[in-house]
Amino acid sequence: MYYPLTVRDFLDRAETVYPDRVGVVDEPDQPAPSLGSLTYREIAANARAQAAKLDALGVPVGGRVAVVSQNSARLLTSFFGVSGWGRVLVPVNFRLSLPEIEYIVGHSGAEVVYADPALKDKLDALDVPHKLVLGEDDDLYLPGAEPRPWAEPNEAATATINYTSGTTARPKGVQLTHRNLWLNATVFGLHMGIGDRDVYLHTLPMFHANGWGMPYAMTGVGAQHVVLRQVDGTEILRRVEEYGVTAMCAAPAVVSAALEGAASWDGEVPGRDRVRIIVAGAPPPTRTIERVLDELGWEFCQIYGLTETSPLVTSNRMRAEWDDLSAHERAQRLGRAGAPALGVRVSVDAEGEVLTSSNHNLDGYWEQPDETARVQAGGTFHTGDGGYLDDDGYLVISDRKKDVIISGGENVSSIEVEDALMSHPKVKEVAVIGIPDDKWGELVTALVVPDGEVTAEELIAHCRTNLAGYKCPKRVDFVDELARTATGKLQKFKLRQPYWEGRERQVN
């Protein structure tokens, strides 16, 4: 008999097999009032109560529910309480400006928006039928109520729409199905060796590609979730020590924070020979990887993926053959995107673009059929990243063919930043590029041809009126002209060259 796979199966299994195990630890810090520690039985009860609330609000199967929140147990519950009964979860980056949030909520057609109390001002400004503040008056749940069953569970149905910056000025809504998320979670769990003894620290926001992937995998095997709302090196190490953390996904800024915390830690750094730190995107510099191995004593795991691939494409973990190598030699081998994950095909076309095929690639971009057709041309997904396969069959990311900068683990559309800068009357021309930075990976940098007297501070402040802070330039360099082709097209590879000189790749 055919049995459709849905994300609710992960929580159903945890409730059945591990009902009294603490499933999530949510410390009582701000902005949202904490739910404290919840067992898997309690998480499942809250998910059902949330689904019952959506029933009461009249949200149909397929209706979109947006959530704008920092990490919390309530947010974790929403991954199951929304999609588990057939609605579509839309995780929104809480760092975005109000105009950016308005666009995503409006474009997705969300009927309900949940938000942290700290984001209540933004919530009040949104034009949606239902607005709920997390943790206030328990409006998120109908305690004790049982939701209407999802009459026809469908693994091909959209489970989430995750917005990502890309080659256009507006973010695109990546539609991921229940099957996409199911396959990715199980393949990821296999490659990372996760099980019911694991304790996972949520250092990445759950709207992030590796933030929203982990609730499913870790819940399904009965692992424990530990919530972290804001990145702080000392707090990361304290939670590692107090809760016995064994794994975390990390952006370059998280790795830097952990290393900074270790430098001032009193006593032996916790988690040595126990913690797996999983870093996504282009690998950090070899020296940073070496420091993780030496100073923290944590296993370093490199993965590569995109929101559109939900997200795992390649994985690079420590191999037995490397045990006798020095930390520097191990770091060099770990500084690659990795080997294709199980069930994933990776190739590089004649122009150097990385292509991938799998059963967990996106279903499409929400309401953008032309963009969907473009990235799926030829029956494979076009990543927009440049790279090559080395002699070991490992993928190495060497360049970024699309206009995207990855800073602190977040995608930034250079076109979006250029549009914001060009709206300033004293900007004649502009090109936005990423330049190497050990902490952030890449630093958003604007090369500006001015039209009159203007300062870098003035231009950065101008960007902040319409863009999230992490998207705004951290550096502005004034130039007389920008390199262009004979037809006037910007040659960004030439603009990047001076900043990346001496490095083997033009991504970080």
Which has the higher per-residue pLDDT, 173 or 165?
173
Determine the residue type at 207.
F
Judge if 387 and 459 occupy the same domain. Answer: no
Q: How confident is the model at residue 141, as a pLDDT?
A: 85
Q: How far from chain centre, in Å, is Cα 471?
A: 15
**What CATH code is carried by the domain that includes residue 388?**
2.30.38.10
Of 354, 375, 400, the one marking the end of a domain is: 400
Task: Label residue 485 by pLDDT band (50, 70, 90).
Answer: low
DSSP 8-class letter at 351:
T
Instruction: Report yes or no on 258 lying in a domain.
Output: no
Question: Edge-to-edge strand order for the sheet containing 130-133?
Answer: 130-133, 112-115, 64-68, 88-92, 158-164, 172-177, 364-365
Task: Label residue 488 by pLDDT band (50, 70, 90).
Answer: low
Residue 489 has pLDDT above 70, yes or no: no
Q: How confident is the model at residue 36, as a pLDDT?
A: 86
Instruction: Report yes or no on 134 lying in a domain.
Output: no
Distance CA 307, CA 326 (A): 34
Nearest CA among 315, 312, 382, 399 for reference residue 347: 382
CB-based contact 119:125 (threshold 8 Å): no
Q: Which two tokens stand for residue 298?
A: 């944590």
Q: How confident is the model at residue 31, as a pLDDT?
A: 54
Query: Which H helix or E strand runs over 353?
Result: strand 353-357
Q: How confident is the model at residue 32, as a pLDDT?
A: 60
Judge if 431 and 386 occupy the same domain. Answer: no
Determine the residue type at 430.
V
- Predicted confidence (pLDDT) per residue in 124-147, tens digit: 999 999 999 888 766 788 888 999
Residue 174 has pLDDT above 90, yes or no: yes
Judge if 466 and 411 occupy the same domain. Answer: yes
Judge if 411 and 429 occupy the same domain. Answer: yes
Which has the higher per-residue pLDDT, 285 or 369?
369
Distance CA 408, CA 45 (A): 35
401: region left, alpha or beta (phi > 0 left; psi from -120 to 50 alpha): alpha
Nearest CA among 126, 94, 130, 91 for reference residue 112: 130
What is the tally of structural domains in the chain? 2
Average pLDDT, the chain: 91
Q: How confident is the model at residue 462, as a pLDDT?
A: 94
Task: Label residue 88 by pLDDT band (50, 70, 90).
Answer: very high
Q: How confident is the model at residue 252, as a pLDDT?
A: 79
Judge if 465 and 427 occupy the same domain. Answer: yes
Q: How confident is the model at residue 285, as a pLDDT?
A: 79
Instruction: Report yes or no on 432 lying in a domain.
Output: yes
Task: Label residue 256 by pLDDT band (50, 70, 90).
Answer: confident
CB-based contact 470:407 (threshold 8 Å): yes
Judge if 370 and 419 occupy the same domain. Answer: no
Sequence-distant (≥ 6) Cβ neighbours of residue 145 within 8 angstroms: 48, 49, 52, 53, 56
Judge if 411 and 442 occupy the same domain. Answer: yes
- Predicted confidence (pLDDT) per residue in 457-476, tens digit: 999 999 998 899 999 999 99
Instruction: Report yes or no on 440 lying in a domain.
Output: yes
Question: Edge-to-edge strand order for the sheet containing 427-437?
Answer: 427-437, 441-450, 475-478
Q: Which two tokens stand for residue 401?
A: 């063919």
CB-based contact 387:313 (threshold 8 Å): no
Judge if 370 and 455 occupy the same domain. Answer: no
Domain that holds residue 357: 345-400
Judge if 413 and 432 occupy the same domain. Answer: yes
- Overall average pLDDT of the 475-502 stretch: 81
Instruction: Report yes or no on 267 lying in a domain.
Output: no
- From the CA atom positions of the chain, what is the Rg in Å? 22
Distance CA 216, CA 187 (A): 12
**What CATH code is carried by the domain that includes residue 480?**
3.30.300.30
Q: How confident is the model at residue 213, as a pLDDT?
A: 83
Residue 30 has pLDDT above 60, yes or no: no
* Burial bucket for residue 34 (CB in 10 Å: 0-12, 13-18, 19+): middle
Task: Label residue 504 by pLDDT band (50, 70, 90).
Answer: low
- Overall average pLDDT of the 237-260 stretch: 93
Of 400, 425, 444, the one marking the end of a domain is: 400
What percentage of the chain reaches a pLDDT higher than 70?
95
What is the residue whose two structure tokens read 């080395």? Answer: 390
CB-based contact 341:314 (threshold 8 Å): yes
Of 383, 400, 417, the one marking the end of a domain is: 400
Which has the higher per-residue pLDDT, 44 or 287?
44
Judge if 387 and 412 occupy the same domain. Answer: no
Judge if 495 and 437 occupy the same domain. Answer: yes
- Predicted confidence (pLDDT) per residue in 318-328, tens digit: 999 999 999 88
Torsions phi, psi of 76, nearest 5? -55, -45
Judge if 496 and 408 occupy the same domain. Answer: yes
Instruction: Report yes or no on 367 lying in a domain.
Output: yes
Instruction: Report yes or no on 370 lying in a domain.
Output: yes
Task: Label residue 167 by pLDDT band (50, 70, 90).
Answer: low
Instruction: Report yes or no on 357 lying in a domain.
Output: yes
Q: How confident is the model at residue 28, as a pLDDT?
A: 73
Q: Render 99-139 in DSSP notation, one character per residue.
A: HHHHHHHHHHT-SEEEE-GGGHHHHHH---SEEEETTSTTT
Determine the residue type at 215.
P
